[in-house]
Amino acid sequence: MPRLVLASQSPARLATLRSAGITPDVVVSGVDEDKVLADAADRFGDLDPADAVLVLAQAKAEEVASRLEESWAEDDAEAPADVIVVGCDSMLEIDGAVVGKPADAATARERWRSMRGTKGVLHTGHWVVDLRDDAAGGTGGTLGSTSSTTVWFADIDDDEIESYVATEEPLHVAGAFTIDGLGGPYIDRIEGDHHGVVGISLPLLRELFADLNIPWRTLRTV
């Protein structure tokens, strides 16, 4: 059975995988996101949000994969035969502009006042690094893709916004909202994959694993 390593500290991503029967190890990446994006812009020019989240997901997955390989070498231990690393990153796009995590409560309030009654696109980049050895079917592959889902926000009043921001949930998530938590009642509808809005698209991930000859069923622990 392949062993999945999630290169993310997101509780929502971890919970989503667990609810699908997968219990990953978590190794949080140490990449400097601003530097990664600046370097990518120098190489490729301005990135649209769908490309930016993919660049960040790749950086996170490959940094963790490299760190794991270095730790195995330093400990002079035999590397696990079955490790696969997954990195993710999410951004909300509204009217062509990227909206990240709000810096503080005031920013979150203003964000929601501008979002209410409108729509945005939640982009989540996914990157997979295959560290399995040959005997375990390893391909050495590294590949990814982006999930993009349109989100319609409810036209809520200032008191509702104030109450939601006071929970502090909006301060810790891309776009200042969740669909699977306290923010769920404020999302009128979506077009696309629900899991992509949570932060990790299970259908897209299944397709990436299939490209590496990893059937989804082999990842489940239940």
Whether the per-residue pLDDT at 93 is higher than 80: the answer is: yes
Is there a catalytic annotation at residue 39?
no
For 181-215, what is each residue's pLDDT tens digit? 999 999 999 999 999 999 999 999 999 999 999 99
Please tell me the pTM assigned to this model: 0.93
Domains in the chain, CATH or no CATH each = 3-219 (3.90.950.10)
DSSP secondary structure code for residue 170 in this structure: G
For 102-154, what is each residue's pLDDT tens digit? 989 999 999 999 999 999 999 999 999 999 998 888 889 999 999 999 999 99
For the residues 45-56, what does the mean pLDDT come to? 94
| Category of 26 on φ-ψ map: left (φ > 0), alpha (ψ -120 to 50) or beta | beta
pLDDT of residue 80: 83
Of 89, 130, 155, 157, catalytic: 89
Q: Where does residue 30 rank: exposed (0-12), middle (13-18), buried (19+ CB within 10 A)?
A: exposed
pLDDT of residue 25: 95
Distances (CA, A) of 89 to 33, 70, 152, 214: 10, 24, 21, 22
For 62-75, what is each residue's pLDDT tens digit? 999 999 999 888 77
